[in-house]
Structure 1
């Protein structure tokens, strides 16, 4: 039935946007017009059909859809009636077909917002859909807005409260790193660097399966970026040297990496807080224009951890504060007239 519906482009395109709207309406009690406006800002893959829409209801227990095309559909008065859980079940079926999976890409931002809702059944279904979408698109060459969205947003879910969810999303990201579209897109590979610090810190996760998944994803990222030193360090499991490698290789990102490390100081796991402190010390030393204001801010963030319930964390925090205080701001470059004279006297090649 699904193949029949989507074989007609005009019908298929009208069905997909109501799916997006239903995903929003089921959890956000705002007007449908406002939801549609927010939805369109997160995706530019499919325009909302003007003047028409589709309303769905379950026809029977086999989860077949009955759709009605309304020429005078009032978006402010008529609301779709299908719950998000059932919408996701339908999407799982659609993702089995490569052609339909491509049509569903624009729904990814709407589905991933459901991950912040405290229902494990929805989260599990969203992961199933994302996994199928990624698997169906591993060999595609041309990047789509979904690809940029996944690179930028999948790392947000590495830190979910449930260790099972953390593992699931890290594994999802690891699999996605094998896609042809990432190998062939320089811009996406550059954006990928923002996921390196979260992956590094998650290698210290108390859950061994999460830590292993993070290590595998970090290795996949190193291979994709053709970063030989990082790849060797991950293979040798020399995690304490990876932070130095990351920041030393790309000092222009030192401040960004530092901000990422600071966000882990309040993590519920002591091993993660410890890894974050160690990384913060490394990143701070590599700041190009380290100011006293920055040092004060970093030390202020570390201060509460001096009384951490974990002895290793509290001692490390106190030690790091002392080191950073002694380190001080980056010395200002001094102008030496003799250096200018020496430069002028050099013979031209």
Structure 2
């Protein structure tokens, strides 16, 4: 593993929290190698004590294929050192442990001990310790029995999704624990995880996007019956971002978004939306979202604005088209219309000619809507139209809903 000692030294030194210091001497760690096998390198050659340990450990790591008992003793010594909860040794010991993890005894007792230590590191204020704990846990997911044991860590992992520096490892680990085991989570954790996954749909890393969307779908599919009412709020919030990512450049993200969108519509018992999605009428689907509630149309507009700045041309183009649709549902709301117009003006110099032309055309339409007078009669007409479009969801129309269900079946 060429270059490994320098990476390890960087992990140890770079991860020390502000106000703390790496010990001047790596006493316990150096003693670990000395007790298991004589070292060939000594500080007398001009190396610092820590460099001696890094180089010596690299030497021991390369010998692992012929000296398994040595690595096993080292791993157990590191585990003991971490169990002492001596703060100044935790970071370097954890950094070393990650590299010899496969030589630990992972029987039931040993596995519980390892997870207890790593669970404590996940809650550390030191980001590097959290990162190393995640690396260790990801290595352990190669063992299916360990993945099942990790279910107890789910709540701690959900809290780490807000840390952008380690979100990739966190979402991958959650994916291994939940997705691969079809795990049923308690309702409060499911709700917390759904809320935390929503912003990741728009993450810069497409792998994080994809795993987050697939994990979201799994949680919806396996949600407890008693939790369904509480989950409706994050599920409604997911409709718009999932709709936009149906236009993503990454086809795997597109497919995951389409499947998850259909899954959410089924969960919400929106048969009208299900039909549109199954017939691939995505823009009719967007029209329904905007037509349901005028106050919600303004909310949808504000949440869609960020897609105008997407680095992906298809998403910007879809966002412009959505703005045009939203504008027609916001007649008389001058503040919201002006917000759209201002945003579209910035896109008139977009790097894509298709996006800039569409933005210009949409802007002309919305300016015309702004100039129109919005009378009380027109307002009433719009309200009646929206009521008609959403008639299966109005209270007091149970008979109509039943009749429609019979006709469809």
Q: TM-score range by the shorter chain?
A: 0.5 to 0.7
Q: Deviations over 1:110-161 (max 9, x none)?
A: 2x134x22xxxx5543123211343457434x412x3222222212111222
Give the TM-score of the pair, scaled to structure 1: 0.67
Q: Say what the alpha-carbon RMSD is for the aligned residues.
A: 3.5
Whether 1:257 aligns to 2:295 is: no
Whether 1:181 aligns to 2:237 is: no
- Structure 1 residues 54 and 224, CA gap change in structure 2 (3 angstroms): farther
Which of 130, 135, 156 aligns to 1:89? It is 135
Which of 256, 259, 275 aligns to 1:216? It is 259
> Per residue, is there more helix in 1 or in 2?
2
Cα distance in 2, alignment partners of residues 169 and 232 from structure 1: 25
Residue 231 of structure 1 and its aligned partner are, at CA, apart by 1.1
Cα distance in 2, alignment partners of residues 66 and 274 from structure 1: 50
Give the aligned length.
Answer: 274
Which of 165, 170, 184 aligns to 1:139? It is 184
Aligned partner of residue 307 in structure 2, secondary structure:
coil
Please say if residues 183 and 224 of structure 1, whose CA atoms lie closer than 8 Å, have aligned partners that are also in contact: no
Cα distance in 2, alignment partners of residues 259 and 291 from structure 1: 13
Q: Relative CO higher for 1 or 2, CA cutoff 8 Å, sep ≥ 6?
A: 1
Cα distance in 1, alignment partners of residues 278 and 15 from structure 2: 43
Corresponding residue for residue 62 of structure 1: 100
Task: Show structure 1 runs of 5+ residues with no match.
Answer: 1-25, 33-51, 70-77, 335-349
Cα distance in 1, alignment partners of residues 264 and 230 from structure 2: 14
Whether 1:244 aligns to 2:287 is: yes
Q: Deviations over 1:276-313 (max 9, x none)?
A: 111122223224x7422221121001101112121221
Please say if residues 306 and 318 of structure 1, whose CA atoms lie closer than 8 Å, have aligned partners that are also in contact: yes
Residue 168 of structure 1 and its aligned partner are, at CA, apart by 2.2
Whether 1:106 aligns to 2:150 is: no
Cα distance in 2, alignment partners of residues 171 and 186 from structure 1: 21
Cα distance in 1, alignment partners of residues 246 and 167 from structure 2: 23
Q: Deviations over 1:15-40 (max 9, x none)?
A: xxxxxxxxxxx8795679xxxxxxxx
Whether 1:167 aligns to 2:207 is: no
Cα distance in 2, alignment partners of residues 31 and 283 from structure 1: 52
Cα distance in 1, alignment partners of residues 162 and 127 from structure 2: 19
Cα distance in 2, alignment partners of residues 223 and 67 from structure 1: 37
Q: Deviations over 1:190-209 (max 9, x none)?
A: 22111111110111111222
Please say if residues 261 and 277 of structure 1, whose CA atoms lie closer than 8 Å, have aligned partners that are also in contact: no
Question: Rg: which structure is higher?
Answer: 2
Task: Show structure 2 runs of 5+ residues with no match.
Answer: 1-13, 21-83, 105-112, 118-123, 378-409
- Structure 1 residues 317 and 81, CA gap change in structure 2 (3 angstroms): closer
Cα distance in 1, alignment partners of residues 150 and 208 from structure 2: 26
Cα distance in 2, alignment partners of residues 97 and 199 from structure 1: 29
Cα distance in 1, alignment partners of residues 284 and 19 from structure 2: 51
Cα distance in 2, alignment partners of residues 27 and 148 from structure 1: 32
- Structure 1 residues 250 and 106, CA gap change in structure 2 (3 angstroms): farther
Cα distance in 1, alignment partners of residues 162 and 259 from structure 2: 26
Range moving further from structure 2, 94-103 or 179-188 = 94-103
Give the TM-score of the pair, scaled to structure 2: 0.58
Whether 1:125 aligns to 2:175 is: no
- Structure 1 residues 228 and 300, CA gap change in structure 2 (3 angstroms): same
Corresponding residue for residue 8 of structure 1: none
Whether 1:309 aligns to 2:351 is: yes
- Structure 1 residues 99 and 83, CA gap change in structure 2 (3 angstroms): closer
- Structure 1 residues 133 and 308, CA gap change in structure 2 (3 angstroms): same
